[in-house]
Structure formats: structure tokens, C-alpha cells
A = this chain, B = another copy of it.
Amino acid sequence: MNAMTLQVVSPVPTDIDIANSIQPQHISAIAKKLNLNPNHYDLYGKYKAKVLLPVIDELKGQKDGFYVVVGGITPTPLGEGKSTTTVGLCQALGAFLDKKVVTTLRQPSQGPTFGIKGGAAGGGYSQVIPMDEFNLHLTGDIHAITAANNLLAAAIDTRMFHESTQSDSALFNRLCPPNKQGNRIFNDVMYTRLKKLGIHKKFPEDLTPEEVKRLVRLDVDPDTITWRRVMDVNDRFLRKITVGQGVDERGMVRETGFDISVASEIMAVLALTDSLSDMRARLGKMVIGNSKSGEPVSADDLGLGGALSVLMKDAINPTLMQTLEGTPVFVHAGPFANIAHGSSSIVADKIALKLVGPGGFVVTEAGFGCDIGVEKFMNIKCRYSGLRPQCVVIVATVRALKMHGGGPAVAAGKPLDRAYVSENVSLVEAGCANLARHVEIVKGYGVNVVVAVNRFSSDTDAEIAAVRAAALAAGAYEAVVCSHFAHGGKGAIDLGVVVQKACENATEPFKFLYPLDASIKDKIEAIARSYGASGVEYSEQAEKKIKMYSKQGFAGLPICMAKTQYSFSDNPAAKGAPSGFVLPIRDVRASIGAGFIYPLVGSMSTMPGLPTRPCFYDIDLDVTNGKVKGLS
């Protein structure tokens, strides 16, 4: 790949101005660099294409490239530039170091784009373009998730309604009606349920009345329903609602709520699946609640696994885009990093690793700080994919380390204290305990760690030197300063060179933090210890749920801890490297289809709100040319 001529300007213009100043290449040209031919992808306009899943089969014989994951230290609320570093590193590898490279990123949620924005396309001279297409609609995957999630929600309430108003035989007549010849037949999804019920009969006529009852009555206990509706809009007034108040619903009211779409379990399924058949199975297995007798009720019990798969059949294909310097990017899936695992898709990584081949690089990002993001990347995503990274990049900033060293609070929308813009080496040194803990956690997996110091203009050489020294002391393979925000790929060449070395010199054996066959509690405690906790405390509710999931046969799933990203502990104010705390588990939930149990440490917001002056105030269309204005 050849470097495009990126003309950088100082001071760095706004993200949208930079993005609009570059004419993207036709996406077929980007595809060609990866040796993809037009049969391998579907175009979605001129700058996006969905790479089709069967490419995986075609490339089966190929060897994989290097697999690099970018994590971060415990961040400030302003973010430390993890996405930007991911993109900048790839621009360096592809446009300057002449490597085959693919960046794999999560699709951002559209809701926050109109609320309080945290850009997900990178920033400055390290971005994915076209930036507006990246942030809006993309190729419709999140819309497909919204549609599928809500079809399942509608099916649950409607089924309860129909069960409450019909006799067993009326339900049977409707669910399994006689055909024109007067015969009833089971369809595939009914066989799935019969098998689950232990009824091994082929013909509807052979069912006893008791078996008919078990087949047709899901008997969902409304108090156990965990499936909520979703919407890709920041709509706080939907957090808690009462549904079913229409007269035709005859008083079957119920309290429930909406989450933002990316919090849907279906998003987590999309991120963790690797084939159509696996996706079909996971979607069918998703548990929406329990029957009154305590059995889990699945999407397939509702007859819906197939239709959900149909709604998701195009979403499984990752979207190809490009960076400002013309290197290829896969944008795919965007699961939450708290109640889900926060990484882009296995499908995208697998295809990308084959496409770059030996000596090439796939660079992906883990959500949140390494304590959560990399932990989940390793123990959930890599466990399901079978892939192993050769190198983890930990992004650190002097700003965040100063905060960890005892600097004043940092808050979005408020001016930074001057401690953050003038030299204070001792504050940095004190904060490096946070970086050191993250390095140690990641090294525990047997992977080389490279620390990338994302340099801000106010950082001094002495401060940077302090970070570098601390990183090496903690066992990092190397620590490098980079300035890709201001300079594009050119600013991350050193990082690229070091990452290449770290990959080529990967030697230690990979190890998971916990074995899957440990008990739910043992797994939770292993993760808690990696945070620095001395122990775990379970609420009564958590104890009850752990017993329930164990009894239901789900104890063998990996654990996805829903914890604040602002501290190793459950207390976001505890900066640095706290230890000896007891981690409280308030509740335990499960995404059975996606395939993990998620303990809640504190309460997690799954539906953001809009501020008084949302971003949408400044967003408009230039009606003369169709261009988007004011997106940030």
C-alpha cells in the first residue's frame, strides 16, 4: 500500500473538517489492495462495502497475519485516544511501513451522535472516512438489530396475551393447524422445542393432552422477563415504562423499558458469532426469561430463531471502509463494554487475518481500560474465536496518569485544571501505578505489551520519560511516544516498528485468566483478584441468580463483568491502583445466546439521555450538495 499525501495543518482542524478535506478512494480500490474481487463484496454506495462471509471459506487455506489489540489505562472521562491510536497505528503500518494491515473497529451507536458525542471514528489525522457515513446508519446493522430485538419483544408480550385468553386446544389449533389435507405437521422450530421438552414424537396427533399443554404453553413468568426493547436513540424517558395500556390488551400491563440498541444481546451475538449456522443457533438460544416453573424460555421456544436470523443475515457481513491514508478498515458490531464484552466482531477479525496473511497486521480495539476490555477480549472473544493476539498496545496519556497520581478531577465540558497543562513529573510518576497494574494484568495472558504514549502538545519530555520508565519497569516490551492525532500515520511510525517487533518476538504461551469449568463464583473471584480486589461480596439477589443459572446449566459460560471503567475497583473515584477492596456484586444476569454471564458491579446505564443543548442543534444538511454540517 502506498502512502497517500496527507497534508497536515497545525493547529489541527476539527475532525469533520479534516474528514471532509480528503476525497476517499472508491471502496473497490481499497478492496483490491486486499485482493478482494467484486464477487467478494456488496457495495453500499461508493465508500462502503460489505465483505461477504463466504470469503472465510475461500481463504481457509491461508495463514493468519499478526493480531494486535489496543487497550488503555484507566481513562479520564475525556478518553485517552484508544480509537485514534488504533487508526493511527494502522495508517503507520499500511501507509509508511508498507505492511498489509486491516483495522477492525466497532460500529458506533447513532444515538449519542445527536446527544453528547464521543467520536468513535478516531480523530485528528487518524480517522475512518467518510466520517458521517461511519457515524450514521452505516450499512444498517444496528437497525437490523433493533428490528430483530423488538420483534422478539413483541412476540413475548403477544404470546403471553394469547396464552392467557385461549385454551390448550385452541392454542394447539392455531400454532399447529391442520393443512388442506386435514393433517397437522410440526415445523423445525417446533421440533426444537419438543426435543427440549424431552418429547420424542413425530406427529402432532400422537401428543397426549399433557404434552400438548407443555408444547403450547410457554407459561412465561412476567416477573422474570429480562428481554427489553431497544432503540438507537438517547431516549431517557423510555428507561422505565408501562406497556399494554390499550383497551384491546385487556389490562395485561407490565413494567419494562428500552435500552439503547447496542446494548441488545443480539449485538453481542453478532460480535461473537463466526458463521450463519452459529448465529442461527445463538439467536435461537437467547433466553428471555423463565417459565413459572423456573425453566428458561428461549427465542426458539417462541418460534423466532429463524426469523431473527433472517433479519440479521446481511448484518453478519463486516463493512469495509478506509482511513484518511487509504488503509482498509472493517467496521463491525458494537457491543457495550460493560454489560457486554465491548469488542468488534470475530467475523471481521477472522476475515482480516486471512486477508493480510503472514507478516500482515490486524489491529483491533478493546473497550474501556485493559482491566475490563482486554480481560473480556481474552477470556470471552478469544475463547470463542480461537484466535490469540501476539501483542497488546496499552494507550496512556500524561493527562490521565496525572489524574491517577492525585490530580484534580477531570470532567467533560469543564476546563482542565492547570495541573494538566503544566509540567508535573512527580504527579505523573505517582499515577504510573495505574499503568503498571494494567501492564501486569495483560502480561498475565502471556502476550507482549507495548505502551503507546499518546502525546498532547502540553506534555513535556520529562513527563514522557517518566511514563516510559514506568512502563518498562512494569515489564512492557517497549514504550513509544506517538503523535498520530497531529501527524497521521507518520506520527505512529515508531509505534508501528515496535509493534512489529513485539509480534515477531511473541514467545510466551498464552493463558486464560480462568478455566471455563470453574464455578461462576470462582470465575468472578479470579477476575476480581486481577483488579486488585481482596474478595467479592454478593447481594442476596446475586446469590439467588448464581444458583439459578447454575441449576439451568449455564455455569460453564465465561464471565463478563459489568464494572465502571473509571477505576480498578467499583468506586469510580478510586484512581491510581487501589487494592484490598471488596468487589460488591449487586446482581447477576446472563446473555445465554451471546454466551456469557454478566455480574453487575453497581448499576449500569443502558439508555443515555440528551443534554439541554444536544449535538443535534448544530447538525444540518447543506441542501445544495447533500453534505452534512456540524457533526462532531
Contacts and interface: CB of A to CB of B under 8 A. Distances in A.
Interface in A222-278: 229, 231-249, 252, 254-255, 257, 275-277
Interface in A270-316: 275-277, 280, 303-307, 309-311, 313-314
A215 to B, nearest CB: 13
Given A610-B158, A630-B306, A42 B42 contact: no
23 contacts: A42-B46, A43-B43, A43-B44, A110-B147, A114-B151, A143-B146, A143-B147, A150-B231, A153-B233, A154-B235, A157-B235, A162-B612, A176-B613, A231-B231, A237-B244, A237-B249, A240-B244, A240-B246, A276-B626, A306-B629, A309-B621, A309-B623, A310-B628
Contacts of A140: 137, 140, 143
Contacts of A114: 151, 307
A249 B607 CA distance: 13
A581 interface: no
A166 interface: yes
Contacts of A233: 147, 150-151, 153-154
A161 B171 CA distance: 45
A623 B175 contact: no
Contacts of A237: 154, 157-158, 161, 243-244, 246, 249, 252, 254
A236 to B, nearest CB: 6
Contacts of A232: 147
Given A175-B613, A229-B231, A310-B620, 12 more contacts: A44-B44, A137-B140, A140-B143, A150-B231, A150-B233, A155-B610, A162-B612, A237-B243, A239-B248, A241-B242, A280-B620, A309-B620
A614 interface: yes
A239 B231 contact: no
The number of chain A residues touching the other chain, given as a range, is: 35 or more
A98 interface: no
A630 B189 CA distance: 12
A60 interface: no
Interface string A37-53: 00000111110001001
Interface string A180-202: 00000001110000000000000
A157 to B, nearest CB: 4
Contacts of A137: 140, 143-144, 147, 311, 314
B620 A189 contact: yes
A235 B611 contact: no
A609 interface: yes
A241 B243 contact: yes
Contact of A620 (B153, B162, B307, B610): B307
B246 A617 contact: no
Contacts of A42: 43-46
A630 B309 CA distance: 13
A306 B132 CA distance: 14
Interface in A161-178: 161-162, 166, 171, 174-177
Q: How many copies does the complex hold?
A: 2
A508 interface: no
Given A44-B42, A147-B233, A304 B241 contact: no
Contacts of A146: 143, 146
A568 B136 CA distance: 44
A277 B623 contact: yes
A241 B241 contact: yes
Contacts of A248: 236, 239, 609
A132 B309 CA distance: 13
A522 interface: no
Contacts of A157: 235-237
Contacts of A171: 612
Contacts of A166: 612
A517 interface: no
A234 B617 CA distance: 32
A397 to B, nearest CB: 22
A42 B47 CA distance: 10
A303 B619 CA distance: 9
Nearest to A255: B245
A132 to B, nearest CB: 8
Given A43-B44, A303-B617, A234 B628 contact: no
A136 B144 CA distance: 9
A275 B237 CA distance: 34
Contacts of A187: 617-618
A212 B433 CA distance: 50
